[in-house]
Every structure is written in structure tokens, then in C-alpha cells.
Structure 1
Amino acid sequence: MPAARTESLSARHVAETRAALIRVGREMFSTIGYQAASTDEVVAGAGVSKGAMYHHFKSKRELFEAVLIEVLSEYGERLAKPKITGTDEWDRFVKLALRYVEAASTDEAFRQIILIDGPAVLGWARWREIQRDISLVGVTEAIGRYMDAELIKRMSPAAVEHGIIAALSESVMYVAHAKDRKAARKEMTAVVTTMINAFRADRP
């Protein structure tokens, strides 16, 4: 077999092994949580050896981070779909923020992996960093546009971005940990809407 063909098959095998570990890890982290999921069960479910797992991930924690990034990336892609409609761009921005609150109430994988286990396993600083860089990019971009268009009151752009993202992060935690998530989502929808509208510049 030609060397190029062998290398291609090897690369595909490596990619398939990593994908299998992430797939099984995601399923287990979503259903039983990080603490209850054992490395032995993950490798058995993926049909690989522990050595193969540690070739890709140094620890269960590192596998969890890869799973969390995958879930957040998919969520980020879904965030703007279907197209958000509204009377004006500001109305669409509010609806964009509220989709984040909705996910905490209705998406079990998002709730368990991102909101319940994420901060505990990765630590608050790392969790916030990943969250900001992946799932809240749309919010960050919108804030920048509104600053340029003077739709947001004149304040430090960095401070406004940090404040809104921090508030959204806390709002979803409130919903995710609530006994009645439907009721908590309704409560937080009103709070988030009021909060974001407070940043809007006065209309002429």
C-alpha cells in the first residue's frame, strides 16, 4: 500500500477515535453528569483502549472540555437560527439574548454540561473564557455595532460587554438550577429584557 494511502487511513482512524470518545463522553456527561461518568465506561462505549483515550486526552477533565466546546459551538450556530425577526434591530438583539435563557430551560445537554458541570469541572475563569469566545460571540458583535451606531448609551464598550455577558451568564444559571425551570425562565425573561433595554440610548 502506498505511503500516502497508509497515512490517510491512519489520520482517519485517529479522527474517528477522537470523535467516538467525544460522542460517548457527551452522551454520558449529558445524562448522568461528569462525576458519575467513569473513564472505563467512556472507553468501553467508544470501543477503544485507555491508551487510545490518553493519546487524545490527558484526563477525563480534558475530554469534558472538548465535549463542552463542541456543545457550545453547536449552540452558537443555532443561536441565530431560525432568523430572528422583530420590529427593529434592537428588538432582535433582545430576542438573541433571550435565546440563551431559553436554552437553560429546554436543552438538557446544554443545561447539564455547560451550566451545571461546566463551572465546577473547569473552574469559573476557564468556563467564562470558553463561553465568551464561542457561545456569546453574537452578543459581543451586536454590542460593537450598537456602540458604533450610538444605539447604546455612551459608556466604556468593554465594560458594557462585560456587564451584559456577565448578567446573561448569571441569568442562565438561575434558570438551570431552578426546581421549576419554566417559571424561572419566565421570571428571567422579564429581568433580562428590562436590563438590556436599560442600556439603550435615549431616542431622539
Structure 2
Amino acid sequence: METMTRASPAKRPSKNREKLLGAARRLFGEAGYAAVGTEDVARAAGVTRGALYYQFVDKRDLFRAAFVQVLTEAGQEIFDETMKRVRHDHEDLQVGTQVMLEIFGRPDVKQIVLMDGPAVLGWTAWREVQRPFHLALIGHALQHLVDEGFIADQPLEPLADVISGAAMQAALAIANATNTDEARTVYSASLMQLLGRLAGPSNF
């Protein structure tokens, strides 16, 4: 798949950029990348196409910015919701993974991150954009397991990469399933079985 070769020049935060990102997220999330044109986004944002191209190189660049924004907000929500649900620090990994599957199952997040993301950004770029997000969340949870003696002190980045790969594969399978509820149940159970071996027996 084709990867992005250009990025938009750095711009100061502006109302036009915020309007364009908000409109792009809504339209991409509802209709999908292929069905939305830059003129649609500009019209929905109430700005000219010239204003859009001042902020973004092209439609793909706009999508990438929307993708990153969705991912950043999802990451914060996953962290916050996980902290609300856990009773002990060693539950972070399992609870957080379940929360991630729930959030990535929302129609707009699923469409932008899972359905269109790999095709629009290219598989390699899609993974690399997400990698810091996964390493931060999973690395945080793994450090708790090290601190509490569930796993040995070790470089956590490789383990986080493996776990994030499994979690994203599950999320993709759920997103592409005919029966998403059934798929979520099956893949969530498989992930909990895998992750439970790191943190010991769990009720999740």
C-alpha cells in the first residue's frame, strides 16, 4: 500500500483548522474516507477549499491529522476509564485492553482507525503512528506488573509491541466481523486468557 510522502507544513492552531478537523472526523467517521471529498469537508466546516489547502497538503494529510486526533483522544479515554475500573494496579493490562476494544468498537473510531486507517495511511505508517500510543499505555501497565513482582524486570518495549500487536489484530478482526458482538466476546476472551498469564488469575 502507498504510504504518505508529504506532510502539511506546521501551522499555528487556528479556528479554521479546528473546524476542518471536526468536520473531517464527523464525515470520515460516518461515510468513510472514499466517500468524502475535500469540498465536502470545506463545506461542512464553513470554510473555503483554499483555507483547507492552506492547513493540509491534501485529503490524505487531512485524514492523517484526524486519525491522530482520534487516536490521542481515545488513548486518554482508555487511560482514564481504566483508572476508574481497576481495583489493583496489576489489573491495568487486562482492564485497559477491554476498554480499548470497547472504544475501538464505536462506529466513528472503528471506521477511521481500523477500517480506513491501514488503507489510507499504508500498513507501515498506520502501525508506526499508533506505536507510541500503544507503548505508553501498555508500558505503563507492564511496569505495574514488574513493580508488583508478576513479571521479571526486563526491557518492556518488546513485550509491549507483542501485546499491542495481539490487541490490534483482535480489534481488526472484530471490526471486520459480520457479527461484531459475537466476535468481541470471542476475541476479548482470548486476549484475557493470554494476558491473564502475565498477571495471574483474573475475574475479567
TM-score by structure 1 length?
0.83
Mapped to 2, the partners of 1:96 and 1:84 lie a distance apart of 10
Shift of 1:126: 1.6
In 2 relative to 1, CA 169–76 (structure 1 residues): closer, same or farther, beyond 3 Å? same
Instruction: List, as ranges, runs of 4+ consecutive aligned residues in structure 1 with deviation greater than 6 Å.
Output: none
The one-character-per-residue Cα deviations of 1:143-187 (angstroms, maximum 9, x if unpaired) are 133234432256653321111011011110011111111111110
Aligned residue in 1 for 2:194: 195
SS state at 1:69 partner: helix
Aligned residue in 2 for 1:15: 14
Aligned residue in 2 for 1:52: 51
Aligned residue in 2 for 1:159: 158
Aligned residue in 2 for 1:70: 69
Which deviates further from its counterpart, 66-75 or 86-95? 86-95
Shift of 1:129: 1.9
Aligned residue in 1 for 2:24: 25
Mapped to 1, the partners of 2:156 and 2:180 lie a distance apart of 32
Mapped to 2, the partners of 1:173 and 1:134 lie a distance apart of 17
2:159 maps to 1:171: no
**Equivalent residues in 2 for 1:67-146 (5 A)?**
67-82=66-81, 83-105=83-105, 107-134=106-133, 137-146=136-145
Q: Provide the aligned length of Structure 1 versus Structure 2.
A: 190
What are the ranges of 5 or more consecutive residues in structure 2 without an aligned counterpart? 1-10
8 Å CA contact 2:78, 2:103 repeated in 1: no
The one-character-per-residue Cα deviations of 1:4-39 (angstroms, maximum 9, x if unpaired) are xxxxxxx99x60111111111111101110011011
Mapped to 2, the partners of 1:116 and 1:84 lie a distance apart of 29
Give the counterpart letter for 2:95 in structure 1.
Answer: K
Give the counterpart letter for 1:138 in structure 2.
Answer: L
8 Å CA contact 2:134, 2:160 repeated in 1: no
Shift of 1:124: 1.6
Give the counterpart letter for 2:21 in structure 1.
Answer: I
TM-score by structure 2 length?
0.83
SS state at 1:174 partner: helix
Mapped to 2, the partners of 1:95 and 1:108 lie a distance apart of 21
SS state at 1:151 partner: coil
8 Å CA contact 1:21, 1:53 repeated in 2: yes
What are the ranges of 5 or more consecutive residues in structure 1 without an aligned counterpart? 1-10
In 2 relative to 1, CA 135–108 (structure 1 residues): closer, same or farther, beyond 3 Å? farther
The one-character-per-residue Cα deviations of 1:81-111 (angstroms, maximum 9, x if unpaired) are 3433345322332111111112233x11110
Mapped to 2, the partners of 1:21 and 1:85 lie a distance apart of 34
8 Å CA contact 1:17, 1:48 repeated in 2: yes
8 Å CA contact 1:94, 1:196 repeated in 2: yes
- Larger-gyration structure (1/2): 1
SS state at 1:198 partner: helix
Two-structure CA RMSD over aligned residues (Å):
2.3
